[in-house]
């Protein structure tokens, strides 16, 4: 027998009202078949079965309040070969009602509670363990973060529901955890009420079971055999699994012929639509045979470790940092002239001179005037850490994927030394051998999309940094001079992204103006060089 634990069904929702059972005890259900309809303070939600099997117990009756993370119904899985003697009947005495996911502990004053990974997003069935904040044997307070997980949408922190001692991790960092399956065990201190309190809290569950026993429902229930009590205008009735199947195949539910009662679309309806070639509005009406052949010839290639790391970094950045952008243009003609005058000197040192060392050095000078850009916000958002060293990162398109190494202590380096460090790092990147020290400790970054022909970009901040700038390609564009005469100028688009939690728009603009002034008038940098 398996208790179905009512999952999180909305942010901040801790309970819901049971509106209607769509099945009765003794009914056979299929995987993803709606079992119950509940109502929160935000919406009416259908709860599907996560496995095929037989409903053996309903813990509530319509009108009762069901608690999140407590049993909703009991299911005997279809692959459960246990004998009939082991199957519990609906009229079980109160004392036999079990507490949800709780095991005896070696400590007489505590019990081990298994934390079930709740729903953490619509359509999300699994996630990757990113970081355990609490190790086995450590104490955790109520609502303290226990583990960090990453879905295909965001990085999510999972807190403890109760205070206690963490007993066991069910997964290691990097492993995949399934929704509705155990995540960790927690030894929870028991109050004086003990087991009696648990029994009392489940009294309604027993009453629900006894009440439901008197209801008769035709045997052989199929998905859609019962009608939901409410129909939302313009919404086609279907289970979440059916909706997901239709979405994955670019089918619109409105275009699928339903066979369930009251127009409910069943899984078989979607499969029939696929077989018959029915297509919704999101799908093109016809596909050439060549396109279909091309899709059949496709293949899947796993991400490289670098690509996976970058994916995680970007997800964390966009999900935790409120980005805002500032764009401007840089007149490059003075910098072009300076670079040309220094080219021979750098060649003598066997260094290829690019514009990037000037961008990096000017950025370092600005960080001295605006130290809040060379800082890091604490995880709780309550403090700022300011760094003395300017470790400035720059994006490198390596054979292993996009890397953002950084040059250490730029404030102490000349333009020649910056160019030398860049040349070494780029050479390492081409060989796929960038050292971990070059990849760690960055404080601010530059992305150069112009080297690949890009004109402008909206860069994503390299978490946990606070700002990043993207450089576009140099263009010859008409501009007006001081005498309002049209002239040709070398212009580059620059775009900043900053963390709006600690950097406001006015500060970002002032910072950008100083940086552009150094680059438009590069001789000004000489007075600031050490």
Q: What positions carry a catalytic annotation? A: 500, 504
Angle, vertex CA 522, rays to CA 518 and CA 525, nearest 5: 70
Do the Cβ atoms of 266 and 223 come closer than 8 Å?
A: yes
Neighbours of 125 (CB within 10 A): 14
- CA proximity to 255, closest of 239, 274, 241, 240: 274
d(CA 422, CA 492): 21
Can you state the angle between helices 356-369 and 415-430, rounded to 10 degrees? 120
Two tokens, residue 302 = 């796993």
HEC readout, 57-109: EECCCCCCEEECCCEEEEEEECCCCCCHHHCCCCCCCHHHCCCCCEEECCCCC
User: From start to end of 368-485, where are the E strands?
Assistant: 375-377, 384-386, 392-394, 396-398, 401-403, 406-407, 444-448, 467-480
- CA proximity to 32, closest of 236, 242, 179, 221: 242
Do the Cβ atoms of 36 and 109 come closer than 8 Å?
A: no
DSSP bridge partners of 29: 53
Do the Cβ atoms of 17 and 39 come closer than 8 Å?
A: yes
Sign of CA dihedral 10, 16, 17, 18: positive
Whether the upstream peptide bond of residue 293 has omega within 30° of 0, thus cis, is no
User: From start to end of 151-260, where are the E strands?
Assistant: 155-159, 164-169, 176-178, 182-189
Q: Which helix (H) or strand (E) holds 437?
A: helix 436-439
């Amino acid at each position: 027998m398996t208790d179905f634990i009512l999952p999180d069904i909305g942010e901040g929702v801790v309970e819901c009202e049971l509106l209607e059972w769509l099945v009765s005890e003794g009914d056979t259900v299929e995987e993803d078949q709606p079992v119950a309809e509940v109502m929160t303070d935000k919406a009416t939600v259908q709860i599907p079965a996560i496995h095929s099997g037989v409903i053996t117990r309903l813990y509530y009756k319509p009108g009762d309040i069901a608690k999140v993370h407590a049993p909703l119904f009991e299911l005997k899985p279809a692959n459960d070969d246990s004998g009939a003697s082991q199957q519990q009947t609906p009229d079980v005495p109160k004392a036999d009602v079990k507490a949800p996911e709780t095991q005896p502990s070696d400590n007489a004053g505590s019990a081990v509670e298994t934390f079930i990974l709740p729903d953490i997003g619509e359509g999300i069935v699994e996630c990757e363990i990113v970081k355990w904040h609490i190790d086995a044997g450590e104490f955790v307070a109520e609502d303290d973060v226990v583990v960090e997980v990453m879905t295909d949408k965001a990085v999510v922190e999972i807190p403890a529901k109760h205070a206690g001692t963490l007993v066991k991790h069910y997964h290691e960092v990097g492993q995949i955890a399934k929704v509705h399956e155990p995540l960790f065990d927690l030894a929870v201190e028991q109050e004086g009420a003990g087991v009696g309190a648990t029994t009392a809290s489940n009294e309604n569950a027993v009453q629900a079971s006894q009440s439901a026993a008197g209801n008769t429902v035709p045997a052989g229930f199929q998905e859609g055999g019962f009608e939901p009590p409410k129909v939302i205008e313009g919404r086609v009735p279907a289970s979440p699994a059916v909706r997901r199947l239709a979405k994955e195949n670019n089918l619109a539910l409105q275009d699928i012929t339903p066979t369930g009662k009251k127009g409910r679309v069943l899984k078989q309806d979607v499969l029939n639509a696929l077989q018959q070639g029915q297509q919704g509005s999101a799908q093109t009406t016809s596909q050439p045979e060549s396109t279909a052949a091309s899709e059949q010839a496709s293949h899947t290639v796993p991400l490289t470790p670098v690509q996976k790391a970058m994916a995680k970094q970007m997800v964390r950045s966009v999900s935790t940092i409120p980005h805002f952008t500032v764009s401007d243009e840089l007149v490059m003609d003075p910098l072009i002239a300076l670079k040309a005058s220094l080219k021979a000197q750098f060649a003598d040192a066997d260094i290829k001179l690019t514009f990037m060392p000037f961008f990096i050095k000017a950025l370092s000078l600005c960080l001295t005037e605006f130290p809040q850009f060379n800082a890091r916000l604490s995880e709780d958002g309550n403090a700022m850490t300011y760094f003395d060293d300017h470790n400035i990162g720059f994006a490198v398109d390596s054979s292993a994927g996009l890397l953002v190494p950084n040059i250490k202590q730029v404030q102490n380096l000349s333009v020649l030394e910056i160019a030398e460090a860049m040349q070494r790092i780029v050479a390492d990147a081409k060989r796929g051998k960038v050292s971990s020290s070059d990849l760690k400790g960055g404080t601010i970054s530059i992305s150069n999309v112009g080297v690949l022909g890009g004109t402008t970009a909206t860069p994503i901040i390299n978490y946990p940094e606070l700002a990043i700038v993207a450089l576009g390609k140099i263009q010859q564009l008409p501009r007006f001079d001081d005498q309002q005469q049209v002239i040709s100028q070398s212009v580059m688009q620059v775009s900043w992204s900053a963390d709006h939690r600690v950097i406001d728009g006015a500060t970002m603009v002032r910072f950008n103006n100083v940086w552009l002034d150094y680059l438009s008038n590069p001789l000004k940098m000489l007075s600031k060089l050490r």
